[in-house]
Chain A
Amino acid sequence: MSTIATAAAPARRSPYTPYRMRIAKVTDEAPGVKTFRLEFVDPAEAAGFEFKAGQFGEYSVYGEGESTFCIASPPTRKGYIECTFRQVGRVTAALADRDEGDIIGFRGPYGNVFPIEDWHGKNLLFIAGGIALPPMRCVIWNCLDLRDRYRDVTIIYGARSVADLVYKHELAEWAARPDVNLYTTVDPGGQTPDWKGRVGFVPTVVEEVGPSAADTVAIVCGPPIMIKLTLPVLTRLGFQPENIFTTLENRMKCGVGKCGRCNVGKLYVCKDGPVFTFAQLRDLPPEY
């Protein structure tokens, strides 16, 4: 079994009582997808709050329920957190109904982190599909805000269609930066007449781009089928499973290792993850 670093328990009164957060800004990202910028109502709670790239939380609309999302903003941007979610169920529908100024609940941060300090001096390869860019955006901005600590930064991001790409303004910003190699792609048929990016599935684009595995850490996040087809490409490029990271999105309720929902083998994704290397996942039952 590979070594698993379990997250430290957050010190709170009751782990189930959320912070009160004010929605400071709502951004429409894609059809059904929104980003909320959230600020602590209580400044004392804001002052005591810390998180690291890769952690997640439980976001709630009081009376409707809780939903699990990663923190999509980087810890280098202080004073707020952001989450990006797609409206698919009761809680996300209720969230999508909230406006700027409304109060919602947040508890966290939970889970382990991307070991970005271990990546100093390395090349970073981010591969994301669809709504899986948000968990990676936290890491991308964290590393870009500390840009001199990392070498080449390559981002390969795909979605079904141009409309489904999230963070369009930031994609433009990354595309304009000389110190970021950005490749955006949409599935065949998802392009618009003025689409300047690539057309093709993410694994194919990874193969075309052919990033070097030397001194490179790959971070892969996307739907199960994308991950399944991308891994063999990375293996052919010479990536070792120890250097490929992902974040799992098992269904969760408590976030603190009790409710049993995210249990895979002897691990709890909420405590031992959500960040894993593929070397660690190789030792786990395939129940994620």
Chain B
Amino acid sequence: MTAQRILARQNLGPLFERIARDGRRILAPVRRGDRVAFEPVTRPDEVALDYVQTRTSAKSAVFPPYEPLLRFTLRGADVQADEPPPAAPPTVLFGVHPCDAASFATLAAVFTWDSPDPPFERKRANLTIIGLSCTRGDAYCFCTSVGGGPGDPRGSDILLTPLDDTHFLVEILTERGQDVAQLAGPLLEPHVGNGKEAALARIAPRFDARPLAAKLPALFNHPALWQEQSLRCLGCGACAFVCPTCTCFDITDERDRYHGVRLRCWDSCGLALFTLHASGHNPRTKQSERWRQRVMHKFAYQPERLGVLGCVGCGRCSRACPVDMNLAQHVQQLAETAV
């Protein structure tokens, strides 16, 4: 159903107005000092269109750092527990790069592979993704090693590619994209001319993630390999915090005298307490074992179990790492290690 159109950059403002009039909020990359973050916007001049990567990912739109699962009213032994009203306003996620757009397939695979997950599904159902192809990357980007690319349409409902300083190529990819295209109406002009290839960043592939799912389990019992890779890992969890596909969460209660809330919060397999039993037994006592779990889960277990790779090559984990561990470099080493 892909259709191609042209959008003049000066028409972004009217497009945002039409989206807002339709009752949808717009989340877009906004520059804040030395970082860029996804925030609600109303005007295109608030949006950083030239960013390489945001500090945190776009997953918060469907899986926020913490969200209530239940709210309690406590009156002694009398407890009322209610599901909170759904917080899922119709949203257009504007200007996410193809790596982030691709991450939503992994998120959906985890949250819906078996039982339903209303908090996730309600937000996802109300989300339209307008992607933005990358015209430049940096040394941390490795989308092309994990099946993606700077102009990869997967996950986007509409994909914009800046053809020059004044125009975007618009690819309308899904029914949800079609809905937004209808809102845009005459703002979208017919496209004649060249495709997007010339405008895209060049990201050289470093490894091929596809054969790794079959290969990695054979490297499980190579402790020296995992120890060497994780020797400087602090176990801080920053990599998981910024990761667009990390989904591990904790469920924890907070309360005061009369009210309480059951929260779902981000968690990480890299943290030392993640698997600790109440008895003191811990199935993964060493940081090297936790690092191995992180890599195996993303590149072997999830592909085998859920049919999705747990990495989109955005490079955030490596940019955020306080001790400069580099996932692409480490996985490349694993790909090159003889079994």
Q: Which of A104-129 contact B (CB under 8 A)?
A: 105
Against A, the Cβ 8 Å flags (1 = close, 0 = not) of B250-286 are 1111110000101010010100001111110101100
Number of A residues contacting the other chain (C-beta, 8 Å)?
Answer: 49
Closest to B274 in A: A261
Q: How far is the CB of A66 from chain B (nearest CB, A)?
A: 6
Residues on the A chain within 8 Å of B249, using CB? 253-254, 258-260
A17 to B115, alpha carbons, bound, how many Å? 13
A10 within 8 A of B: yes
C-alpha spacing A101/B249, complex, angstroms: 32
Q: Which B residues touch A65, using CB under 8 A?
A: 251-253, 262
> Which of the residues A12, A60, A257, A259 comes within 8 Å of B267, measured between beta carbons?
A259
A39 at the interface (CB under 8 A from B): no
A17 in contact with B83 (CB, 8 Å) = yes
A31 sits at the interface (CB 8 A): no
B20 touches A (CB below 8 Å)? no
Interface: A102 (CB within 8 A): yes
A174 to B248, CA, bound (A): 43
Q: A254-B249, A259-B248 are in contact. Are A92 and B278 (CB under 8 A)?
A: yes
Given A17-B70, A63-B74, also A263-B297 (CB < 8 A): yes
In the complex, the chain B residue whose C-beta lies closest to that of A16 is B69
Closest residue of A by beta carbon distance from B76: A102
Least distance between A225 CB and chain B CB atoms (Å): 10
In the complex, whether A251 has a CB less than 8 A from a CB of chain B is: yes
Q: How far is the CB of B207 from chain A (nearest CB, A)?
A: 21
> B248 contacts A15, CB within 8 Å?
no
Q: Which residues of A252-284 are within 8 A (CB) of B?
A: 253-254, 256-261, 263-267, 271
Q: Evaluate contact between B255 and A63: CB separation under 8 angstroms.
A: yes
Instruction: Select one of B69, B81, B275 contacting A261, CB under 8 A.
Output: B275
Please, how many residues of chain B have a CB less than 8 angstroms from a CB on the other chain?
Answer: 51
A256 near B278 with CB under 8 A, answer no
| Interface bits B105-146 vs A (CB < 8 Å: 1, else 0) | 000001101111111000000000000000000000000000
A287–B283 touching, CB < 8 Å: yes
Q: Find chain A residues with CB under 8 A from B234 CB.
A: none
CB pair B283 A288 closer than 8 Å: yes
Q: Are B111 and A258 in contact (CB under 8 A)?
A: yes
Interface residue? B17 (CB, 8 A): no
Interface set, chain A 48-100, CB cutoff 8 A to B? 60-66, 86, 88-89, 92
Q: Are A14 and B283 in contact (CB under 8 A)?
A: no
Contact B293 A256 (CB under 8 A): no
B283 touches A264 (CB 8 A): yes
B78 cross-chain contacts in A, Cβ below 8 A: 103
Residue A223 lies at the interface, judged by CB distance under 8 Å to chain B: yes
Query: Which B residues are in CB contact (< 8 Å) with A189?
Result: none
Give bound CA distance, A15 to B118, whole Å. 8
Q: Is the CB of A254 within 8 A of B81?
A: no
Most chain A C-beta atoms within 10 Å of own C-beta, residue among B69, B74, B78: B69
Chain B hits for A250, CB < 8 A: 275, 277, 283
Structural contact, B275 and A251, CB atoms closer than 8 A: yes
Bound complex: CA of A92 vs CA of B277, how far in Å? Answer: 13
Give A283's nearest chain B residue, CB to CB.
Answer: B217
> Smallest distance from the beta carbon of B305 to chain A beta carbons, Å?
4
CA distance A102 to B78 in the complex (A): 8
Query: In chain B, residues 275-315, which have Cβ atoms closer than 8 Å to a Cβ of chain A?
Result: 275-279, 281, 283-284, 289, 293, 296-297, 300-301, 304-305
Given A15-B117, A62-B260, A224-B281: A285 and B220 within 8 A (CB)? yes
Q: Is the CB of A62 within 8 A of B117?
A: no
The verdict on B77 contacting chain A, using a C-beta distance below 8 Å, is yes
Contacts of A16 in B (CB 8 A): 69-70, 119, 251, 262, 264
- Indicate if B72 sits at the interface (CB-CB under 8 A): yes
B269 A256 Cβ-Cβ under 8 A: no
Beyond A9-B115, A64-B255, A258-B247, whether A20 also contacts B220 by CB under 8 A is: no
Q: Is the CB of B79 within 8 A of A256?
A: no
Q: Which residues of A contact B275 (CB under 8 A)?
A: 250-251, 261, 287
Verify if A211 is at the interface (C-beta below 8 Å from B): no
Return 29 A-B CB contacts under 8 Å, by A number: A9-B114, A13-B83, A14-B83, A17-B69, A60-B253, A60-B262, A62-B72, A62-B260, A63-B72, A63-B260, A65-B253, A66-B253, A88-B278, A103-B78, A105-B81, A223-B279, A224-B281, A250-B277, A250-B283, A257-B115, A258-B117, A258-B249, A260-B249, A261-B274, A265-B217, A266-B304, A266-B305, A285-B220, A287-B284
Using a CB–CB cutoff of 8 Å, the interface residues on chain A facing chain B are 6, 9-10, 12-18, 20, 60-66, 86, 88-89, 92, 101-103, 105, 223-224, 249-251, 253-254, 256-261, 263-267, 271, 285-288
Q: Can you add 10 more A-B contacts, CB < 8 Å, to A9-B114, A287-B289?
A: A14-B118, A61-B253, A62-B253, A62-B255, A65-B251, A66-B253, A253-B267, A257-B113, A258-B110, A260-B249
